[in-house]
Chain A
Amino acid sequence: MTKRILSTIAFLVGAASAAPAQTATQTITFQVDAINQIAFSGSPSLVINTATAGSNPTGATAAATWAVTTNQTGAKITASIGSNMPAGLTLSVDLTAPPGATSAGFQALSTTSVDLVTSMTKLAQGALTVSYSLAATPAAGVVSSTTRTVTYTITGGT
């Protein structure tokens, strides 16, 4: 009788500890590369068609927008045009800097790259303003409609 009681107790204890936790494992490998992406929208047109008497022709301005994502430190944006402007004409551009970065303000464009925004660090920002300015001297004369393609380049930092 005593033996039977002990066996019953052992069975109940076993039931209480049944179904131990089951586990499985997976190894996840992940990586984030250096990312430096910019985009510009709009194809602005600039026309100079008047002047204040006694002054150079009145400059023209136009606006567009740009966006940037970088996950590096100290990235910068430069710009250049495919061929230089006619003598007496100056095309300049100013990029509004994203938070924490520095804009160089209006910079005249040529075939030599010029820094526009520096010190961009780990940010994603859209709807930033691009401002274009066209200036002419009387010596430039009449210039028929022509185009320049501005090439913007983002250079990653560290």
Chain B
Amino acid sequence: MAVSGNPGALHITTAVPGSQPTSVSNNTTTYTVTTPNANKTYRITAQINANMPTGVTLTATFAAPAGATSIGPVALDVTARNVVTGVPKSTNSTQNITYQLSATAAAGVIASSTRLVTLTVITP
């Protein structure tokens, strides 16, 4: 399992009046998954090292390799959550990662912060 690097900062700066702040996204990074030749399928989970501030949501969408299934947008927290399932054996594939940051007005102003996302390939 490898990633292409860290995405650029996700920075919420505006809102449509009457609506919640406008979410932002980043799809500039990729992951590469390599699975053994064992007769199994695999899944990929993602988690962050600390929960997001109240009212702020970090969502990740992982494109799926051939034969696998993307769970679609997943809100990340400290619990490992499936993002891709059914990855076949002998897979060696690089796919896109999209992160989205959303916030409610109630979340207030959030100074620049970081979260460490851990991706794990495991057997079901």
Interface size grouping (class) on chain B: 35 or more
Chain A residue numbers with a CB within 8 Å of B51 are none
Q: Which residue of A lies closest to B122 (CB)?
A: A21
Chain B residue numbers with a CB within 8 Å of A51 are none
Kindly name the residue among B15, B35, B48, B99 whose own CB sees the greatest number of chain A CB atoms within 10 A: B15
**Docked-complex contact B16 and A69, CB < 8 angstroms:** yes
Contact of A30 among B15, B56, B105, B122 (CB under 8 A): B56
**Docked-complex contact A68 and B108, CB < 8 angstroms:** no
**Docked-complex contact B112 and A67, CB < 8 angstroms:** no
Give chain A's interface secondary structure class.
strand
CA distance A72 to B108 in the complex (A): 6
Q: Mark A4-27, 1 if CB is under 8 A from B, else 0.
A: 000000000000001101111111
**Docked-complex contact B103 and A67, CB < 8 angstroms:** no
Residues of B at the A interface (CB closer than 8 Å) are: 1-3, 5-21, 29, 31, 34-36, 38, 40, 48, 56, 58, 97, 99, 101, 103-123
